[in-house]
């Protein structure tokens, strides 16, 4: 297999456009949200305008095929954009831009032609359109999804019962669901048979935000990701047309395997965070003087910076490798390369953020400087879209 790691002129231009957009549009917004202490703030209300600008630059439709209104770009192009957005704010990159690129792919890849026409018609409009995907539940360990033992008692309890040409959904999704309460449409995973193991009974439903019976909890505050919106979803006799079932009953697990781009988008955003933490610490180490010399002239600090740079590059290469696999061997990408890249990129982001806190000394733990933000945002990646350990236990099955 030929290996080429040089970006094409088009990719370099895309990367630069994303970098300029992130710095000019996302940075001031993210800073405002980071500094806000208003518990009633709805970040999406502030983010929407910037999201629309990003959409007009094409940053929400990179992957969708051209016949469905997208740009049919390579997954590595998506990774390049996500890294730039993530370097400025990983929550905006992941919650809004990554999900908007990836979730329509589910309809494109698994939907019927009627579903593609009906559910993707928004792509050609200039309206902001945001998705949410809900699997986790408050009283169920999300790790149950990876349980190797088929047992109908284990796993999610949200249920979908067929009633004529509709399904009726009842249950609750956890307060961690990204974009719950602000999304335009939801992919709800529910069980179409509670007497069968989860692996055989999970199904995916497309649910419009205005569907009666669908309500949301209050936005949950996290230690970081200040620009994002997470809330619980309550499903009380939510009736959806049977033609909103994506794929077949019981196919949810297989369909999610069609989307390695979910983990790749997160991983690339976290490479961005790792890079930002490294560059921030490097800049500080060049300015701050100790014993008459810049910090970087002290080997104890210089070695830390070298490790930050080396690990960031290693994480980036894993993401690019997973992105190449997503285009050529999607099964390998979904089972091994994308989860491996996600866990590694988040590990590096956490390590770099922690090292940045160390290099900044006392200022590292003040809100005046960004090292603390990097660390809080980095830790959120640990369990977002499955924990490090669960992803690694999952990929062992394919080694
Ligand atoms: C920022 C963010 C965004 C999110 N967005 C969404 C979303 O959009 N939609 C959605 O549905 N969910 C979402 N989630 C939920 C997320 O998917 C889960 O929180 C995550 O998968 C972990 O599941 P859990 O909290 O149930 O942990 P648990 O499964 O309860 O695990 C707790 C701990 O035990 C470990 N553990 C559990 N079982 C085992 C085992 N068998 N062997 C070894 N170790 C084990 C885990 O690694 C973890 O350390 C989000 C979470 C975050 C933080």
Domain boundaries, the chain: 9-124, 131-251, 256-396
The residue nearest atom 32 of ligand 1, judged by CA position, is 141
CB 85 within 8 A of CB 18: yes
178 lines ligand 1 (CB under 6 A): yes
Q: How confident is the model over 188-206, as a mean pLDDT?
A: 96
354 lines ligand 1 (CB under 6 A): no
133 lines ligand 1 (CB under 6 A): yes
CA distance 312 to 176: 28
Helix intervals (H) in 36-111:
43-56, 75-88, 90-91, 99-110
Q: How confident is the model over 190-195, as a mean pLDDT?
A: 96
At 109, the pLDDT band (50, 70, 90 cuts) reads: very high
252 lines ligand 1 (CB under 6 A): no
Distance 386 CA to ligand 1 centre (A): 5
Name the residue of 390, 395, 397 to mutate for ligand 1: max ligand atoms within 8 A of Cβ: 390
The closest alpha carbon to 133, from 395, 328, 386, belongs to 386
How do residues 9-35 score in pLDDT, each as one tens digit?
999 999 999 999 999 999 999 999 999
| pLDDT given for residue 3 in this prediction | 72
At 284, the pLDDT band (50, 70, 90 cuts) reads: very high
Phi, psi of 300 (to 5 degrees): -60, -35
CA distance 157 to 334: 25
Distance 343 CA to ligand 1 centre (A): 13
Instruction: Determine the topology of domain 256-396 in CATH.
Output: Butyryl-CoA Dehydrogenase, subunit A; domain 3 (1.20.140)
The closest alpha carbon to 352, from 344, 362, 363, belongs to 344
| pLDDT given for residue 302 in this prediction | 98
CA distance 190 to 156: 7
At 127, the pLDDT band (50, 70, 90 cuts) reads: confident
Q: Is the pLDDT of residue 1 over 70?
A: no
| pLDDT given for residue 17 in this prediction | 98
CATH number of the 9-124 domain = 1.10.540.10
CA distance 266 to 287: 32
Distance 381 CA to ligand 1 centre (A): 11
What is the ipTM, given to two decimal places?
Answer: 0.98
| pLDDT given for residue 2 in this prediction | 64
At 5, the pLDDT band (50, 70, 90 cuts) reads: confident
389 lines ligand 1 (CB under 6 A): yes
The residue nearest atom 41 of ligand 1, judged by CA position, is 143
223 lines ligand 1 (CB under 6 A): no
Q: Is the pLDDT of residue 84 over 80?
A: yes
Place of tokens 């919650």: 95
Distance 315 CA to ligand 1 centre (A): 22
Distance 176 CA to ligand 1 centre (A): 9
The residue nearest atom 19 of ligand 1, judged by CA position, is 383
The closest alpha carbon to 130, from 92, 98, 105, 96, belongs to 96
Distance 148 CA to ligand 1 centre (A): 17
How do residues 296-340 score in pLDDT, each as one tens digit?
999 999 999 999 999 999 999 999 999 999 999 999 999 999 999
| pLDDT given for residue 128 in this prediction | 81
CA distance 178 to 374: 20
31-64 CB burial, b ≥16 within 10 A, e <16: eebbeeeeeeeebbeebeebbeebbeebbbbbbb
At 366, the pLDDT band (50, 70, 90 cuts) reads: very high
At 351, the pLDDT band (50, 70, 90 cuts) reads: very high
Query: What average pLDDT is seen over the chain?
Result: 96
Among the CATH numbers 3.40.50.2300, 2.40.110.10, 2.40.50.140, 2.10.109.10, which is that of 131-251? 2.40.110.10
CA dihedral 137, 94, 215, 190 (to 10 degrees): -40
Place of tokens 């070695």: 303
């Amino acid at each position: 297999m030929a290996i080429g790691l040089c970006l094409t002129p088009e990719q370099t231009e895309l990367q630069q456009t994303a970098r300029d957009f992130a710095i000019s549009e996302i940075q001031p917004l993210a800073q405002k949200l980071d500094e806000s202490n208003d518990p009633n703030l709805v970040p999406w209300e502030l983010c929407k305008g910037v999201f629309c600008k990003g959409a007009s630059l094409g940053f929400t439709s990179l992957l969708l095929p051209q016949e469905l209104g997208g740009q049919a770009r390579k997954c590595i192009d998506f990774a390049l954009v996500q890294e730039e957005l993530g370097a400025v704010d990983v929550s905006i990159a992941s919650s809004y831009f990554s999900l908007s690129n990836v979730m329509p792919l589910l309809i494109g890849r698994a939907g019927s032609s009627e579903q593609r026409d009906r559910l993707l018609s928004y792509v050609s409009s200039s309206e902001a359109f945001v998705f949410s995907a809900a699997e986790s539940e408050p009283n169920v360990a999300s790790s149950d999804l990876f349980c190797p033992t088929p047992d109908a008692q284990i796993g999610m309890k949200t249920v979908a019962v067929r009633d004529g040409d509709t399904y009726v959904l009842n249950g609750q999704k956890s307060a961690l669901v990204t974009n719950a309460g602000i999304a335009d449409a939801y992919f709800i995973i529910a069980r179409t048979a509670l007497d069968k193991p989860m692996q055989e009974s999970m199904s995916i439903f497309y649910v419009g935000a205005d569907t009666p019976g669908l309500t949301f909890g209050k936005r949950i505050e996290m230690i970081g990701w200040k620009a994002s919106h997470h809330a619980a979803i309550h499903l009380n006799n939510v009736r959806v047309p049977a033609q909103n079932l994506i794929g077949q009953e019981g196919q949810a697990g297989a369909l999610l395997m069609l989307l390695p781009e979910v983990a790749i988008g997160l991983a690339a955003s976290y490479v961005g965070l790792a890079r930002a933490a490294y560059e921030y610490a490097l800049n500080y180490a060049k300015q701050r003087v100790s014993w008459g010399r810049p910090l970087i002239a002290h080997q104890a600090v210089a070695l830390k910076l070298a490790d930050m740079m080396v690990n960031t590059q290693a994480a980036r290469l894993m993401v690019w490798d997973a992105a190449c696999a997503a285009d050529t061997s999607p099964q390998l990408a979904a089972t091994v390369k994308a989860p491996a890249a996600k866990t590694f990129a988040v590990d590096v982001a956490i390590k770099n953020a922690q090292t940045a806190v160390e290099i900044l000394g006392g200022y590292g733990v003040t809100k005046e400087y960004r090292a603390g933000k990097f660390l809080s945002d980095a830790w959120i990646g640990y369990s977002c879209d499955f924990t490090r350990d669960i992803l690694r236990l999952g990929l062992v099955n394919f080694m």
